[in-house]
């Protein structure tokens, strides 16, 4: 009889623990910002201006240099007239390629590509495509990335 009671208590407790863990994890999952590394920055480029592109590429170099020990994730999102930075015939194509090789992520706005009739093949190799640049910028910020508009 005692063992019956103990089995009853044990089962009750097991289901209790299970349901509480569910509650806890559910709540925490909702509350927790997605796990991100410490240093994450998303940079928005809207200008068709190679001087600005060069400045930003210099900035990125400095930021990575500054954070060399800690590491830093940098994403550049090119939208509208800024798309020209990421096409194969861009005046900064070589520097973009170098930055990609260094781990910087460059993303072209798919909507802007459509509007300007730019194909994937027209982009610098390694450039990624997102369906809508501003949506990418929103999602990254909401995952804890800092937003920079140079």
Q: Is 18 in the site for a copy of itself (CB under 8 A)?
A: no
| Max intra-chain CA distance, the chain | 84
Q: Is 68 in the site for a copy of itself (CB under 8 A)?
A: no
Instruction: Using the minimum distance from each CB to a copy of itself, give the nearer residue, 29 or 101.
Output: 29
Taking each helix axis as running N to C, give the angle between helix 50-66 and helix 93-101, from 0 to 180 degrees, rounded to the nearest 10.
Answer: 20
Q: To the nearest whole angstrom, how small is the minimum distance from the Cβ of residue 96 to a copy of itself?
A: 18
Question: Which candidate, 116, 141, 150, places its Cα nearest to that of 33?
Answer: 141
Q: Report yes or no: 79 and 107 within 8 Å, Cβ to Cβ.
A: no
Q: Phi first, then psi: what are they for 28, rounded to 5°?
A: -70, -40
Binding site for a copy of itself (CB under 8 A): 1-2, 4-6, 8-9, 12-13, 16-17, 20-21, 23-25, 27-33, 38-41, 44, 46, 55, 59, 62-63, 66-67, 80, 111, 131-132, 134-135, 137-139, 141-142, 144, 146-150
């Amino acid at each position: 009889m005692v063992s019956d009671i103990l089995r009853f208590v044990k089962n009750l407790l097991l289901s209790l623990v299970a349901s509480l863990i569910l509650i806890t994890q559910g709540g925490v999952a909702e509350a927790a910002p997605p796990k991100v590394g410490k240093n994450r920055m998303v940079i928005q480029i809207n200008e068709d201006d190679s001087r600005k592109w060069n400045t930003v590429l210099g900035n990125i170099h400095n930021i990575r240099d500054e954070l060399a020990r800690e590491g830093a994730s940098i994403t550049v999102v090119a939208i509208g007239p800024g798309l020209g930075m990421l096409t194969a015939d861009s005046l900064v194509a070589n520097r973009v390629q170098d930055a990609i090789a260094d781990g910087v992520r460059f993303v072209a706005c798919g909507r802007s590509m459509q509007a300007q009739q730019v194909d994937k093949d027209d982009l610098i190799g390694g450039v990624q495509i997102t369906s809508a640049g501003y949506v990418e910028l929103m999602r990254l910020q909401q995952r804890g990335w800092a937003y920079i508009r140079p």
